[in-house]
Amino acid sequence: MIIVILLMAGAGYIAKALTVSGACMSFLVGASVYIGFSLQGFLLLLLFFSTSTLCSKYKKRKKNAH
């Protein structure tokens, strides 16, 4: 599972959703949550990251035009 978390952090960086430091921290936080709260806690964190990324990118061009 740690490898999956590492791959997901790398994918976030490649997708330009995270910086290098953000990808490193997302790996550390993801691994810590998985170790402490097992799969359920990790899935909740994944849901939060996914929805917050989508919401921040929603109509980004229109917002930047203002």
Report the predicted TM-score, pTM, of the whole model to 2 decimal places. Answer: 0.80
Residue 20: count of CB within 10 angstroms of its CB: 8
How far does CA 59 lie from the centroid of its chain? 19
The token pair that represents 6 in the structure block:
């590492």
For the stretch 17-28, pLDDT in tens is 899 999 999 999
pLDDT tens string 33-61: 999 999 999 999 999 988 988 888 887 76
Q: How many residues does the chain have?
A: 66
Residues 61, 35: Cα–Cα separation, whole Å: 38
CA distances for 19 relative to 9, 29, 36, angstroms = 10, 15, 25
